Structure 1
Amino acid sequence: SNLALILMLLNIELSIACGRAEYRIVDECCPMCSPGNRVHKHCTEFTSTSCVPCSDSTFLDEPNGLTACIQCTNCDPGFGLKVKQPCRPSSDTVCGTLEGFYCLDPTKDGCRAAQRHSSCTPGQYISHTGTTSADTVCADCTGDTYSDGSFTSCQPYTQCDTLKLQQIKPGTHWSDSECGPQTSLPKATIISAVVVVVVLAVIAAVTTVAIRIKKRKDPIS
């Protein structure tokens, strides 16, 4: 009966949970290593836990009883990421977004994956500029305005007549109107003058031919 009592007491002792700053190894409750350190040797009945710092781009950010540190996160530029805060023995790398990217998978302090901001197409303007957390928002130009896709607002067409120029090409939603110098004479006047010159040339040619024919018919006496 005494043996049974002793065994029962041993089982009760073994079943008692370790403290918050301890971890169990077989029958021992060993002190945890502090953040930034890992277990080198577990404690024994006579010795405490032996800890060593994390090294070679590894970390542990909580008190622990682990024998290996965790590999630091790599901020891959291929995913639109850059290092915002470098890895330390007691904390993982914090990644941020590259210039021109926004975060697709945010974390508490950083980002796990990012995507390049959308580009507005000609005929659209940038309604809201992209940020590290949101994509660019585009909107269409309307009325007599245009944008090549890089403007933050649609611009009105150039009014050629106010510049004392003539319009060579009308504006579209993706390009401005094109202006050129005014001609010295109206287009209709130039066309009329050309027609008159051509008609006079034809009359002169016909008259010349008629005179030659008449001379042939009326020989000199």
Structure 2
Amino acid sequence: MFLAWILLLLGCVQSERACYNHEYQFEEKCCRKCEAGSFVERDCTSTTETVCTPCADGGYTDALNGLRHCLRCPICDREHHLTELEPCTPVKPTRCVCDEGFHCNGFSENGECTSCKQNVMCGVGEGATTSGSNPQVIHCEPCPDGSFSNIPSQRPCRPWTRCEELGMETVKAGSPVSDSECGESSHLTIVLVLGAAVICSLMLLLTYCCRKKHKGSLAILKDEREEPKPPLLPIYCREREHR
């Protein structure tokens, strides 16, 4: 009789026990959940564990679960300007993103994007910014100092060109609607002009020296040619000298 009371008490404790996170409630039992990528084919009994089956193509479960079937993989609807970024697998759903120039304005129960809306087009002198709550939603704001936008777009303002980093001078400062205009640096121009002048002077000096040297050589050669030679002696005089 005492043993029967013990068994009855244990049964009441088991039936009233809350299931753990890795378990699900089935009738009066706590059954082990199935892993991500599978679902419950048969619930547990007092003598057997939960039987799980892998998800087939087109289905998924992305967490521990007690589901009787896998979730259906979402389809990226091109008519709603959705593009597939990552395909569906047994452990994760399809990841869809809005086309460029659109933002998500419709969501499923699990937070996936289901439809998109075209973004606002920012005018000249304005740039696109995003909000923290939905980074895909575009707002237009005036270009801050140091940046510009010269055409309507859905992009942020572009920074002015820094002429000094290019070794040039700023001819015209930028504005919210135009970029900076760069020109050759006056210092660089002076250096180039002086350098060219020095090179030309050296070339002229070298040419002058070469010509002067050449003229000296010709004068020496001319003197040698004009120097009178001693008269030739008759043959009999030369024979006498040899004797």
TM-score (normalizing by structure 2): 0.48
Structure number with greater Rg is 2
Partner of 1:65: 66
Q: What aligned pairs does 1:143-154 form with structure 2 within 5 A after superposition?
A: none
CA contact (8 A) 1:102 1:130 kept: no
CA contact (8 A) 1:37 1:51 kept: yes
Give the AA of the match of 1:116: Q
Aligned length: 145
CA contact (8 A) 2:57 2:90 kept: no
Partner of 1:127: 126
Q: Which structure dedicates a bigger proportion of its chain to helix?
A: 2
CA contact (8 A) 1:125 1:138 kept: no
Give, in angstroms, the shift of residue 112 of structure 1. Answer: 4.0
Change (3 A) 1:134 1:7: closer
Partner of 2:87: 86
Give the AA of the match of 1:118: V
Identity %: 28
CA contact (8 A) 1:80 1:114 kept: yes
Partner of 2:16: 15
Q: What aligned pairs does 1:189-200 form with structure 2 within 5 A after superposition?
A: none
Give the AA of the match of 2:103: Y
Q: What aligned pairs does 1:32-181 form with structure 2 within 5 A after superposition?
A: 32-104=33-105, 111-119=113-121, 124-125=123-124, 127-129=126-128, 133-135=136-138, 137=140
Partner of 2:25: 24
CA contact (8 A) 1:126 1:137 kept: no
Change (3 A) 1:81 1:16: same
Give the AA of the match of 1:80: H
Q: C-alpha separation between the residues in 2 aligned to 1:126 and 1:112?
A: 33
Any unmatched runs of 5+ in structure 2? 143-149, 158-175, 179-243
Q: C-alpha separation between the residues in 1 aligned to 2:38 and 2:64?
A: 8
TM-score (normalizing by structure 1): 0.52
Residue aligned with 2:126, SS: strand
Any unmatched runs of 5+ in structure 1? 140-146, 156-221
Q: C-alpha separation between the residues in 2 aligned to 1:136 and 1:15?
A: 54
Give, in angstroms, the shift of residue 148 of structure 1. Answer: 8.0
Give, in angstroms, the shift of residue 102 of structure 1. Answer: 2.7
Give, in angstroms, the shift of residue 110 of structure 1. Answer: 6.7
Query: What do the CA deviations read for 1:33-52 (whole angstroms, capped 9, x no partner)?
Result: 10110011112222221111
Give, in angstroms, the shift of residue 87 of structure 1. Answer: 1.4
Change (3 A) 1:6 1:149: closer
Change (3 A) 1:27 1:90: same
Q: C-alpha separation between the residues in 1 aligned to 2:7 and 2:128?
A: 75
